[in-house]
């Protein structure tokens, strides 16, 4: 900020006034909306930016009193006298809707009073409070992006004017106003009335700019002084002034702020209230902001959680070689690994902290055996992370009974902060010091288990927790540790191929554009080429010009068929593939294998995702995807890769959940689903369903799972909205069970506040009752999708547990390497291919009992591509 902050010599109380809508819009345009939204689809960029700015002001200015003023949606007294006032302002962007309410809720939760007044603007509330504050002997600060507030500036009132985004402020004192505009704060509204203000639809005097207006005000003292002599002002400007004087007078009248509203009983009402830590925490959790902003808010505002009496930890010192004796006495043991230290604490708060590299050899062997013993229950926070930490010391982890990070995830699958300190704050209402010892962290785990277990029971999540998520975490950890072998040379060769293709597309595009230096990755340069040089039809308007996003360019290509677009889109596709390949090359470890991370808590639906690198974004059916998969090889000492996947798992889940007789009949008869559906929808024999008809019903069948509309279907299939509507109506007429299910699942979710999978996994969707249409529609789509995608995710997880159990019981050497969507990839040991094929197919097939059969396909080969089927 360019503002200097509080003067240490000024000991007066400080009143900080926030212009709510003004700052909210500044924040909205400063931060990209697409980067800030809840899992239910409510955008939160304006809230995040506003709170960041508010906290910055609190830190720098240290106000004793604070208020935020907001406009109401109804007409004000100004619009009654001047209907055109602000009438030209564009409609509020959909992404902004709902955020003012969230900002007000956030401020109230942080102890700040928010104020509005029917028929008046936030400006009038601010002017009133500034006047009251000045009379009470306060230093008054007004933070706004509205220059009309400059009329309030005096020796006691300063305007902090937002220049750029939400971080750069200009401090307007009386001297600063005169320096900038050449008039005093009192004269500023006179200047504005003459000059006009396009943002408020105030025309001013045509031909009279800021310099002329300033000269007149300085020369004649005020607008009234100008009016007194206007007949003597010569030339076109004088004529223009006389012709428009009524507008000027009206503008001056409207610009004047009201300073005597009845908005507070006492200035004491504006002292920040004591913050309820748990309520404030809930707001941050609902907004799904990370810990950084929340912790900053709590630190700045002095928010403290109630002290809970922690039972003192008894830390015992163990003589070398005596760890086995100590461990035998322990029950209910929490384990925390921090750096090179391991803490072991029992439920009676008796614990030890051990230095792993410095362990006595006998104790090292004891600890190694104990950690790997599945019969010794252990309680952790993020067992998968601990597994990898222990691997550095050649120690295995087994016997995990509790993982509080997974318990917290099941209770709030939409919350993205899962660190131990965050979960403790959220569920136990106390803070964990950043300097907490490993034993204190272990104590937090035990405390959370006592808190979370009843919550899991109450939410019906205990079975998922104990039988699925906790045992799965170590399976995933082992898969990550093992990794999969890749051919570096082949990937580097592929990268070079795509590099050459990229260069070809760049050269061709530059030749057509007649610009040898054209950067195809620059939106600004593309906008000039497409919409100025080539004069192509304009795409969707954005803040920075006409959109060059992929979806918009596809529509443009369909409209114009311009050769430049073909090269541009090919360039983007090749660039994407090269980036994917280069990311894989960078991820190859010293052992020649890629060790991806499986995110068990990454999706609110329960679906696993993959990162560092992401192995789920490799195309399956394209030539490029097959070439990349061909670089994933069977490792040394193993015979082949075996893959097995579910066919149309989500559609089978849809058939089960909807109980639609048509879909059930299709699967039970063994008929190709899309041919069967196409036959019914288009009223033709099954053998006359063309590839084109099959493509249409396939897009619709899968699209319905994601809340696809008739318009969306028309866009996807490039057909008319009327044809798409007809296809959808025919579909619902013949598959009425699907329509009934889709309608019913949203109604139930709206009533309950959450959706459930077949196995009871919940996804909470508070946005279903949102007044923000975009967020509400996103939540409705999520309500359609979550039970289906979530049930499919649960089924593959159960399959993984069954396969792991069968591998252990049979003492097989083969091992599961990857889970990619609905597919498992297994590295088969010599001589085990036949057993593995049967084992994988059988265990996956028996993972769930649906009204329709599960269909598992398997294949094998020396690389991932050859193992496809």
pLDDT along the chain (869 residues), means of 10: 60 95 93 86 92 94 96 75 54 87 95 93 95 96 93 95 79 94 89 72 72 84 81 77 79 86 94 91 88 89 75 93 94 94 96 96 97 96 98 97 97 89 90 92 96 96 98 98 98 96 95 93 91 89 82 84 92 93 97 97 93 90 91 98 96 96 92 91 92 92 84 87 92 92 93 95 90 83 92 98 98 97 96 98 97 96 94
Same domain, 696 and 812: no
- Whether 187 is covered by a domain: the verdict is no
Same domain, 388 and 465: yes
Rounded to 5°, angle at Cα 363 from 357 and 368: 75
Alpha-carbon gap, residue 184 to 547, rounded angstroms: 43
pLDDT of residue 393: 97
Three-class DSSP category at 16: strand
Same domain, 661 and 719: yes
Q: Which residues of 179-214 are buried (b: 16+ CB within 10 A; e: fewer)?
A: eebbbbbebbbbbbbbbbbeebbbebbeebebebbb
Alpha-carbon gap, residue 441 to 437, rounded angstroms: 6
Same domain, 700 and 810: no
- Whether 356 is covered by a domain: the verdict is yes
Burial class of residue 291 in the structure, from the number of CB atoms within 10 Å of its CB (0-12 exposed, 13-18 middle, 19+ buried): middle
Q: For the chain, give the number of residues.
A: 869
- Whether 620 is covered by a domain: the verdict is no
H/E element, 655:
helix 649-658
Q: Are 859 and 643 in contact (CB under 8 A)?
A: yes
- Whether 519 is covered by a domain: the verdict is no
CA torsion angle for 383, 314, 361, 387 (degrees, to 10)? 0
Q: What is the CATH number of the domain that holds 452?
A: 3.30.420.10
Alpha-carbon gap, residue 16 to 130, rounded angstroms: 9
- Whether 390 is covered by a domain: the verdict is yes
Number of domains comprising the chain: 4
Burial class of residue 410 in the structure, from the number of CB atoms within 10 Å of its CB (0-12 exposed, 13-18 middle, 19+ buried): buried
Alpha-carbon gap, residue 592 to 242, rounded angstroms: 83
Q: Answer yes or no: pTM beyond 0.85.
A: no
Same domain, 726 and 670: yes
Alpha-carbon gap, residue 297 to 53, rounded angstroms: 11
Q: Compute how many other C-beta atoms are within 10 angstroms of the C-beta atom of residue 801.
A: 16
Q: What is the CATH number of the domain that holds 830?
A: 3.30.70.370
Alpha-carbon gap, residue 136 to 64, rounded angstroms: 13
Strand intervals (E) in 60-156: 65-69, 113-115, 139-144
pLDDT of residue 783: 92
Q: Which of 482, 501, 527 is the last residue of a domain?
A: 482
- Of 336, 337, 370, give the one whose Cα is nearest residue 443: 336
Same domain, 813 and 833: yes
- Whether 542 is covered by a domain: the verdict is no
Q: DSSP string spanning 137-160?
A: T-EEEEEES-GGGGGG-SSSEEEE
Same domain, 819 and 764: no
Helix axes 721-734, 710-717, angle to 10 degrees: 120
Alpha-carbon gap, residue 653 to 646, rounded angstroms: 11
Same domain, 425 and 318: yes
Same domain, 88 and 122: yes
Q: Which of 434, 449, 482 is the last residue of a domain?
A: 482
Same domain, 321 and 470: yes
Q: What is the CATH number of the domain that holds 159?
A: 3.40.50.1010
- Whether 406 is covered by a domain: the verdict is yes
Q: Nearest 5°: phi and psi at 252?
A: -65, -35
Same domain, 729 and 857: no
Rounded to 5°, angle at Cα 413 from 409 and 416: 80
CA distances from 866 to 190, 244, 256 (A): 79, 80, 77
Assigned token pair, 384: 């998968």
Q: What is the CATH number of the domain that holds 736?
A: 1.10.150.20
DSSP annotation of 620 = S
pLDDT of residue 567: 94
Q: Which residue has the tokens 């709170």?
A: 51
pLDDT of residue 269: 95
Q: For residue 445, give its domain range.
A: 314-482
Alpha-carbon gap, residue 754 to 777, rounded angstroms: 15
- Whether 679 is covered by a domain: the verdict is yes
CA atoms within 13 Å, Cβ hemisphere of 301? 30
CA torsion angle for 43, 46, 47, 50 (degrees, to 10)? 170
Q: Which of 208, 238, 270 is the last residue of a domain?
A: 270
Same domain, 682 and 807: no
Which residues contact residue 737 at a Cβ distance below 8 angstroms, ignoring those fewer than 6 apart?
658, 659, 660, 661, 662, 663
Q: Are 703 and 685 in contact (CB under 8 A)?
A: no
Q: Compute how many other C-beta atoms are within 10 angstroms of the C-beta atom of residue 795.
A: 23
């Amino acid at each position: 900020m360019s503002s200097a902050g509080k003067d240490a010599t000024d000991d007066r109380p400080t009143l900080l006034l926030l212009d709510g809508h003004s700052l909210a819009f500044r924040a909205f345009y400063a931060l990209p909306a697409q980067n800030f939204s809840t899992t239910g689809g409510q955008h939160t960029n304006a809230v995040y930016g506003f709170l960041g700015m508010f906290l910055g002001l609190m830190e720098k200015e240290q106000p004793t009193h604070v208020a935020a003023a907001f406009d109401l949606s109804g007409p004000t007294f100004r619009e009654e006298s001047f209907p055109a006032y602000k009438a030209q302002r564009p409609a509020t962007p959909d992404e902004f809707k709902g955020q003012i309410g969230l900002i007000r809720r956030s401020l109230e939760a942080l102890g700040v009073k928010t104020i509005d007044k029917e028929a008046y603007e936030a400006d009038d509330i601010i002017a009133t409070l500034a006047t009251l504050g000045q009379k009470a002997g306060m230093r008054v600060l007004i933070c706004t992006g509205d220059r009309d507030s400059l009329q309030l500036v005096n020796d006691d009132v300063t305007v902090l004017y937002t220049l750029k985004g939400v971080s750069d402020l200009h401090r307007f004192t009386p001297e600063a106003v005169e320096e900038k505009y050449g008039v005093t704060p009192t004269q500023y509204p006179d200047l504005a009335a003459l000059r006009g203000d396009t943002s408020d639809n105030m025309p001013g005097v045509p031909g009279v700019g800021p310099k002329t207006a300033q000269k007149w005000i300085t020369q004649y003292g005020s607008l009234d002084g100008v009016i007194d002599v206007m007949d003597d002002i010569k030339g076109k400007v004088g004529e223009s002034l006389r012709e428009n004087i009524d507008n000027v007078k009206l503008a001056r009248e409207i610009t004047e702020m009201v300073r005597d509203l009845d908005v507070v009983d006492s200035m004491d009402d504006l002292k920040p209230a004591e913050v309820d830590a748990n309520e404030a925490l809930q707001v941050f959790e609902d907004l799904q902001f990370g810990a950084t902003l929340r912790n900053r808010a709590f630190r700045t505002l002095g928010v403290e959680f109630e002290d809970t009496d922690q039972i003192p930890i008894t830390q015992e010192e163990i003589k070398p070689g005596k760890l086995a004796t100590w461990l035998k006495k322990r029950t209910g043991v929490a384990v925390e690994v921090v750096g090179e230290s391991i803490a072991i604490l029992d439920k009676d708060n008796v614990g030890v902290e051990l230095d792993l590299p410095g362990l006595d050899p006998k104790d090292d062997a004891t600890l190694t055996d104990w950690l790997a013993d599945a019969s010794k229950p252990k309680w952790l926070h993020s067992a998968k992370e601990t597994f990898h930490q222990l691997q550095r010391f050649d120690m295995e982890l087994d016997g995990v009974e509790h993982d509080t990070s997974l318990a917290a995830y099941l209770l709030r699958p939409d919350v993205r902060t899962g660190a131990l300190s965050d979960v403790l704050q959220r569920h136990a209402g106390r803070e964990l010091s950043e300097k907490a010892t490993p034993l204190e962290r272990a104590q937090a785990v035990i405390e959370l288990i006592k808190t979370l277990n009843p919550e899991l029971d109450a939410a019906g999540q205990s079975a998922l927790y104990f039988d699925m998520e906790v045992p799965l975490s170590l399976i995933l950890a082992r898969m990550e540790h093992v990794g999969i072998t890749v051919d570096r040379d082949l990937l580097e060769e592929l990268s070079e191929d795509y590099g050459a293709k990229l260069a070809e597309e760049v050269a061709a595009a530059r030749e057509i554009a007649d610009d040898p230096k054209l950067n195809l990755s620059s939106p600004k340069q593309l906008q000039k080429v497409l919409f100025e040089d080539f004069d192509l039809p304009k795409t969707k308007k954005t803040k920075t010009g006409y959109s060059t996003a992929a979806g918009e360019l596809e529509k443009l290509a369909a409209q114009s068929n311009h050769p430049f677009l073909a090269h541009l889109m090919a360039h983007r596709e090749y660039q994407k593939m090269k980036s994917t390949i280069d990311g894989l090359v960078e991820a190859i470890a010293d052992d020649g294998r890629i060790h991806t991370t499986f995110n068990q808590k990454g999706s609110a639906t329960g679906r696993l995702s993959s990162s560092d690198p992401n192995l789920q974004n490799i195309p399956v059916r394209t030539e490029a995807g097959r070439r990349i998969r061909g670089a994933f090889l069977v490792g040394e000492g193993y015979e082949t890769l075996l893959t097995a996947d579910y066919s149309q798992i989500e559609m089978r889940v849809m058939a089960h959940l909807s109980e639609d007789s048509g879909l059930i009949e299709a699967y039970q008869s063994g008929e190709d689903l899309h041919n069967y559906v196409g036959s019914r929808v288009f009223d033709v024999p099954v053998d006359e369903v063309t590839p084109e008809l099959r493509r249409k019903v396939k897009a619709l069948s899968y699209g319905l799972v994601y809340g696809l509309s008739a318009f969306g279907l028309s866009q996807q299939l490039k057909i008319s909205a009327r044809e798409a509507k007809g296809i959808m109506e025919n579909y619902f007429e013949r598959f009425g069970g699907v329509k009934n299910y889709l309608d019913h699942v949203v109604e139930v979710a709206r009533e309950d506040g959450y959706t459930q999978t077949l196995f009871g996994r919940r996804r909470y969707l508070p946005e279903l009752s949102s007044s923000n249409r975009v967020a509400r529609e996103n939540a409705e789509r999520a309500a359609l999708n979550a039970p289906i995608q979530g049930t499919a995710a649960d089924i593959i997880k159960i399959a993984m547990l069954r396969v792991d159990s069968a591998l252990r019981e049979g003492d097989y050497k083969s091992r599961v390497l990857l889970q990619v969507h609905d597919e498992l990839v297994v590295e088969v040991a010599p001589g085990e291919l036949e057993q593995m094929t049967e084992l994988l197919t059988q265990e996956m097939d028996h993972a769930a009992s649906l009204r329709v059969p599960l269909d598992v396909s398997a294949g094998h080969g020396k690389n991932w591509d050859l193992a496809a089927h």
